[in-house]
Amino acid sequence: MRANLFKPNPERKKEIASIIMEGDKKLTEYLANRLLIFSFYHTGAPKHGGVYREIFLIKKT
């Protein structure tokens, strides 16, 4: 019974659907000519500071 209290009416459902469709359209236009690069690790991330230690290690050539 309480779930029906917050259930949107059909008009609000149409409004929400149009907002989502408009957002999808804008996102598609924005990403049309973009190249997305995501970094990922094959293993877990190193301990905090490990990468800097490895980069700035004098002994490593």
Question: pTM of the entire structure?
Answer: 0.50
**DSSP class of 43:** S
- Contact in structure between 51 and 43 (CB atoms under 8 Å): no
Choose between 38 and 9: higher pLDDT: 9
Please name the residues in contact with 11: beta carbons below 8 A apart, sequence gap of 6 or more: none
Instruction: Read off the pLDDT band of 41 (50, 70, 90).
Output: low
CA distance 15 to 3: 20
- Residue 22: pLDDT over 80: yes
Q: Give burial (CB, 10 Å; 0-12/13-18/19+) of 27.
A: exposed
pLDDT beyond 90 at 44:
no
Choice between 24 and 2, residue whose per-residue pLDDT is larger:
24
